[in-house]
Each structure stands twice: as structure tokens, then as C-alpha cells.
Amino acid sequence: MIVVTGGAGFIGSSIVWALNQRGKENILIVDHLGKDNNKWKNLAPLRYLEYMEKNSFLECIERDSLPDNISCIMHMGACSSTTETDNSYLVENNFKYSQAIAGYCLEKHIRLIYASSAATYGAGEEGYHDGYDEIERLRPLNMYGYSKQMFDLWAKRNDVFDDMVGLKFSNVFGPNECHKGSMKSVVNSAYHQIKETGKVKLFKSHRDEYQDGEQMRDFVYIKDVISIVLHFLDHPEINGLFNAGSGKARTWNDLAKSVFRALGQAPSIEYIDMPESLRPNYQYFTELDMDSIVKTGFKEKFKSLERNVEDYVQNYLSKNRLLGDENLG
């Protein structure tokens, strides 16, 4: 059995879809569906053995009452809101919960693949090189990033990175993210802006060295993220802390123009002032170093940003489809 926490969420449900593509259905999905969101819709096209609420899963860990045939826990569940202000909630949900799962995996010798974040790099003063030698030097710009760093630090201080894999995801976009509200990708929000108004709004730059819309991020498509996760599932002998991005920074202008191109429309971009509350913590450049994962034997070649945006827009957003809906006709 494979356990996927956050299995109704964006990355988690996409992993379950990929496992289904391999014919695997002996999957336990762990999540918190809550109220007033459509996250449950991600589950509808998926095939899995059982669903469990996250608090019930934690209770099973504490009682040692989980099935004894679990081979891997893919821990993707977390509060991923970079603007979350309840710091104590982030500690409990992103750090302490991860500690409990890691402790269980270590005790039972279960493979653990967990989601860290490129938000741990902060403004990039120390670069974007993965590994855990200098985690202490990183300075995240928000509490979400720090809650992820807290677990990375715990794993290093307890010398357990030889027994698990952490993946630092960066600006992931793609199908199954529609429930994320304000945390949806700019590809998703740009698509809806264009359909409604014919134009896209992007933040102005408030630094002289960057023109408006020329701020750069490492955008990575969900299908490429899946290939990274499955690489480590297939190679249990490989462990450590790795970047999970495209390895190539692109501008917000590039991203917006890719959406217009996928819709067959001429670009129309309006630049708006960034809220002052965001300016101190805004990342102007992110580009993850992917050398470490290549050295593990990862050979997948990612498509361009333009091709990936085209796939997302034309095959999912325009058709109102999720991963798993491909055969609906």
C-alpha cells in the first residue's frame, strides 16, 4: 500500500493519478476536505482503496493501528498558503505533523517522500543549491517557508536524510489546483482574467534592476513534478534533500504571454502596484539548481514553459477537466 497525504490536494491528487496510470490502486488517501471548497472534486476521477481524514490518520499513527503493508508514505499534505498568518497553526500542521509521520516511517522502515519548498530559500541570498549542508544559513521570507525549513532542520539535526527524500517544489502549476483560491497559479488566474476581461494584470516592479513583469521565477508543470516524485519512488536507494523545479527562470511576462498564445489571442498586460504589505517579502528571482537530481540518474526532459502552459490551458482549463478526466470524450 502507498499512502498519499494531501491526496485530495493539488500535488497529492496528481500523484494518485500518476499511480493509477501505472495500474496502482492500493492507495490510502489522507486529507482534510473541510468546508466550502471544491477539493473533493479532485478525488472523483481517481481510483484508491481508502480515504482517511488527517486527524484520524495521526491517531492511527499514535495507536500503531495502520495497515502493516505500507511500503511508502508520500507526505504532500500541508498548509501551502504563503500568506497564512496563524503561525502556530503552520507549526502544528507543517512541522509537528511531519515529525509524527517521519518518526513512524523511521520506526517501521517505510519509505518517506515529503514536500519541502523552495520558499525555504527566501530571497536567494545563499543561492538555490539543494542539499542539507547549509540549511541553517537560509532565511525564508514568510512563516510558511520557515515551517517547511523547520522540518528540514529537524531531519538534518537527527541525521535521518539518509532514510528519506525531501523535495523543494517551486511555483508548480497545472490541473487540479482550482480549489486553492488565492494560492492558485498565475497561469490559472490569467486564463480566467483573459476570458473575462481580455487582459492580464501583473505586479509592477519596485526595484530598478527589473522592468515591470520581468521579475523571474522557476515555474514547473505538475506533470514534470510527478516525474520527479516517481523517480524517487522507483529508486528507494536514493535519499536526501533535492530541488524540484524546472531549473530555468522565466519572467511573469513570458508566463502571461504563454497563456494568451495558448488561447490564440494577442497579449494585453496591465501592470498594477504591488501591495505594500507584499513588497518586503517578494521574491524577484528564483531559479533552482537541478544538478543534484540529474546526478541521481533522473533523465526526464521537461517541455518548455510555452508547451506546458498550452497543455494546461487547452486540455484542462478550456475543457474544465481534471487529471483523470482525459477519457471523457
Tell me the pairing of strands 269-272 and 50-53. unpaired
C-alpha cell read off for 110: 517505510
Q: What is the pLDDT of residues 40-54, one digit of tens each?
A: 999 999 999 999 999
Q: What is the pLDDT of residues 173-188, one digit of tens each?
A: 999 999 988 889 999 9
What ranges in 68-136 are assigned the alpha helix state H? 87-90, 97-108
Q: What is the pLDDT of residues 244-268, one digit of tens each?
A: 999 999 999 999 999 999 999 999 9
In CATH, which of 3.40.50.720, 1.10.3720.10, 3.40.190.10, 3.90.1070.10 is domain 2-173+219-248+285-300?
3.40.50.720
Which sequence positions are flagged as catalytic? 144, 180
- What is the reported pLDDT for 282? 86
Indicate the length of the chain as a whole number: 329
- Asked if 140 and 119 count as a contact pair (C-beta separation under 8 A), the reply is yes
Residue 241's SS3 state is strand
Q: What is the pLDDT of residues 299-328, one digit of tens each?
A: 999 999 999 999 999 999 999 999 998 766
- What is the reported pLDDT for 329? 53
Top pLDDT among 155 and 34 is at 155
- What is the reported pLDDT for 283? 86
Tell me the pairing of strands 27-31 and 50-53. parallel
- What is the reported pLDDT for 85? 84
Residues 6+ apart with CB under 8 A from 135: 120, 149, 152, 153, 156, 241
User: At residue 76, does pLDDT exceed 80?
Assistant: yes
DSSP code at position 131: S
Give dist(CA 215, CA 251) in Å, integer. 5
Give dist(CA 219, CA 188) in Å, integer. 13
User: At residue 133, does pLDDT exceed 90?
Assistant: no
- How large a percentage of the chain has pLDDT more than 70? 99
Give me the chain's average pLDDT, please: 94
